[in-house]
Amino acid sequence: MSHLTLDTATSRANPTPAPMKRLTIPAIRNRKGKEPLVMLTAYTVRMAQLLDTHCDILLVGDSLGQVIYGLPSTLPVTLDMMIAHGAAVVRGSYHSVVLIDMPFGSYEASLEAAFASAARVMAETGAAGVKMEGGEAMAPTVRFLSERGIPVMGHVGLTPQAVNTLGGYGARGRTNAEHAKIIADARAIADAGAFAIVAEGVVETLANTITAEVSCPVIGIGASNQCDGQVLVTEDMLGLFERTPRFVKRFDDLAGRISAAVETYAAEVRSRAFPGPEQVYPARD
């Protein structure tokens, strides 16, 4: 497919990588209870290049719907969007395992539909696996794909594709019934063969219980530092948005820094200070 080809002679976004070996799904699975897994989202080739050596997993999350496309939720994200961004992230990375989120509507209807969608993702991006939201109801799908060569990362707790059913993006697991249901979800997905599970927006004690009870690594977001790893949306942790949820730590203030840089640029254009002598081409003698 065209997604997999890149004219490196003309691409300034594709520096030659230092030789390195890409991590594998079994290596990720073996990190259960060991050094915490480092996972971030990436949607573009350049961001993938910048994150790659620091991370174990790059997730092409369907959060790209809001972060890149300004959509109101992840629900309108399509398989084609995920594949285009997924292929870019694979092209920009050489070390991390790249996983692609299965978008809403591409996997829920039947085992066959899920396999067809996931097989497209794998074939057209070169990614190592997929992530899909859902608990007990999705366990047969996780098993079907895992047994047919498609590694699956599960996603339980706050599952944003179910926002209309859940009624919002609030933390989950505060009632006994919800607590028990989310543990059952995680167990079912792990037993079905998921190589890892994201636990999103769950109370800390619940995250700790899930981490202790399932045999695969549990990666937290808004969960607990006792999980087997952590994931954040990169643009959130870099401070690209003014408003960030409670569970996000802003490791930088990129929004402020971009704004300051662009303010300086605009001033220099208006005063004709830019371009200066170093940025123009002198005539030949």
* Interacting residues toward ligand KIV by CB under 6 A: 41, 59, 61-63, 101, 198, 200, 221, 231, 233
Indicate the residue among 43 and 144 with the shorter CB distance to ligand KIV: 43
Give one DSSP letter per residue of 5-26, joined into a string. Answer: ---TTT-TT-PPPPP-PPP-HH
Q: Cβ of residue 247: shortest distance to ligand KIV, in angstroms?
A: 10
Instruction: Tell the burial category of 60 from Cβ atoms under 10 Å away from its Cβ (0-12, 13-18, 19+).
Output: buried
124 tagged catalytic: no
Q: Cβ of residue 40: shortest distance to ligand KIV, in angstroms?
A: 9
Give one DSSP letter per residue of 98-131, joined into a string. Answer: EEEEPPTTSSSS-HHHHHHHHHHHHHHH--SEEE
Q: Cβ-closest residue to ligand KIV? A: 61
Q: Cβ of residue 41: shortest distance to ligand KIV, in angstroms?
A: 5
* Spatial contact of 129 and 97, defined as CB atoms under 8 Å apart: yes
Indicate the residue among 118 and 233 with the shorter CB distance to ligand KIV: 233
Catalytic residue among 124, 133, 200, 235: 200
The DSSP call for residue 202 is: B
Indicate the residue among 56 and 62 with the shorter CB distance to ligand KIV: 62
Strand partners, 38: 230
Q: How many angstroms separate the CA atoms of 245 and 254, rounded?
A: 17
Alpha helices in 147-246 (DSSP H): 163-166, 176-191, 204-213, 234-237
Indicate the residue among 60 and 272 with the shorter CB distance to ligand KIV: 60
Q: Cβ of residue 239: shortest distance to ligand KIV, in angstroms?
A: 17
* Spatial contact of 61 and 105, defined as CB atoms under 8 Å apart: no
Residue 106, both tokens: 């591409």
Which residue in the block uniquely carries the two structure tokens 């599960």? Answer: 154
Indicate the residue among 6 and 105 with the shorter CB distance to ligand KIV: 105
Q: Cβ of residue 77: shortest distance to ligand KIV, in angstroms?
A: 9
Q: How many angstroms separate the CA atoms of 156 and 183, rounded?
A: 9
Active site residues: 200
